[in-house]
């Protein structure tokens, strides 16, 4: 489904921004949106999700800790469960919470994927993430599985620029 984004009643899009968004969707490539805090970078991804008639909650936001994660422990502690003889300890999947990129790749229909404030991430994060987005797959060492995307998400990457503030003497 090709979307022609035109803005919305709650989001005014310039001609240049509209062209960039539609080019990114058509070419299936990430769009880097830079700007000062409060200029609507994050809201753009949410508005595109709404324009696609997707649940605004489908604008998945990847945190700065990698594509699968962080792989967090679910409710229940594997160490405690093993001490109590719980059978769940024999399957790591019982303790894994899928990260946003994993959820986006596993979704049954294309979603909007927001990588917000990439400038705050570790230095290797952007390179690793772009590799996964290009290949549309990543490997989860903890579960020994290759996660392949069912559909290519619409990807928005935001970067915050800061105003030059005068220094105090």
**DSSP bridge pairs for 114:** 61, 156
In percent, the amount of the chain with pLDDT more than 70 equals 73
Centroid of chain to Cα 33: 14
Q: Where are the domains of the chain?
A: 15-160
For domain 15-160, give the fold. Rossmann fold (3.40.50)
Q: Who wins on pLDDT, 146 or 86?
A: 146
Q: Who wins on pLDDT, 115 or 73?
A: 115
**pLDDT tens sequence across 100-130:** 888 888 888 888 888 888 777 777 776 777 8
Given pLDDT bands bounded at 50, 70 and 90, which one contains residue 74?
low
């Amino acid at each position: 489904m090709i979307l022609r984004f035109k803005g919305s009643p709650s989001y005014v899009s310039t001609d240049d921004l509209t062209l960039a968004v539609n080019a990114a969707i058509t070419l299936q490539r990430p769009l880097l949106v830079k700007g000062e805090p409060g200029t609507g970078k994050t809201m753009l991804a949410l508005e595109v999700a709404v324009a696609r008639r997707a649940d605004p909650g489908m604008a998945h936001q990847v945190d700065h800790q990698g594509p699968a994660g962080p792989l967090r422990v679910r409710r229940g502690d594997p160490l405690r469960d093993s001490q109590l003889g719980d059978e769940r300890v024999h399957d790591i999947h019982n303790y894994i919470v899928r990260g946003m990129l994993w959820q986006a790749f596993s979704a049954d229909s294309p979603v909007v994927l927001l990588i917000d404030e990439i400038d705050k991430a570790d230095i290797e994060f952007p390179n690793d993430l772009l590799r996964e987005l290009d290949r549309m797959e990543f490997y989860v060492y903890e579960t020994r599985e290759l996660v392949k995307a069912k559909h290519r998400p619409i990807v928005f990457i935001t970067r915050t620029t800061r105003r030059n503030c005068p220094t105090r003497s």
